[in-house]
Amino acid sequence: MILGISGGIASGKTYVSQIILKKYSLFYTSFSEVLKTYCARQKIEPTRDILQNLGKEIIENHGAEGFVKWIISQSQMPAENVLLDGFRHPAVWDSFKKIYPQARLIFCDINQNEQKRRIQKRDKIPDQIATKILAHPIEQEVSLLKEKASVIFNETTTQEDIIKWIRQPICIKKKIIPLPTSNKEHIIN
């Protein structure tokens, strides 16, 4: 099983990852964790801007495929049983699919007002900063991955829905499954 997770900031990616990881023994990493580890080794403060710019710089210098290979190498990702969180660019997903053709993409969708509320609550930031974060070009590009997803979860999807989808054959068609709003506030990314 090879899974990728995408969606905007605070869309429920960590929530979905945690549910999957409770049920399945998968190697887990995220693009941001790999970039943060790299920053720590370089003694660079891993702010959101630094991480976004570092990812962008690697992609510009080495292409999407080079970035994916770098992430795989840095994280020592195995050839199977993987959950990689944080796809932000369609070209990066396409490159990942070349290496892992059996991979399926999960897209976490969220209404922008709820997304802004979660960012403000989680990061303890004012409305203007949350608005600026959501306006970042990378946040805008994430929505393009929705079309590449095998499944789309939203704020009314249940844990049971997620597990049920994972158990289905790899050839399933795209469908939308709602994510719950109630019991997840404490574990949303």
pLDDT digits (tens, 9 = 90+) for 56-99: 899 999 999 999 999 999 999 999 999 999 999 999 999 999 99
Residue at 50 is within a domain: no
- Contact, 187 vs 15, CB < 8 A? yes
Residue at 46 is within a domain: no
Measured distance between the N- and C-terminal CA atoms of the chain, rounded to whole angstroms: 23
- Contact, 19 vs 159, CB < 8 A? yes
Residue at 60 is within a domain: no
Residue at 42 is within a domain: no
Check pLDDT > 80 for residue 15.
yes
Residue at 173 is within a domain: yes
Looking up residue 173, the CATH number of its domain turns out to be 3.40.50.300
Range(s) of the domain holding residue 166:
2-29+79-187
Count of domains for the chain: 1
- Contact, 152 vs 177, CB < 8 A? yes
**Tens digit of pLDDT for each residue in 117-171?**
999 999 999 999 999 988 888 888 899 999 999 999 998 899 999 988 888 764 3
C-alpha 136/C-alpha 89 separation (Å) is 13
Say what the pTM is. Answer: 0.84
- Contact, 87 vs 96, CB < 8 A? yes
Neighbours of 17 (CB within 10 A): 24
The three-class DSSP label of residue 66 is helix
Residue at 89 is within a domain: yes
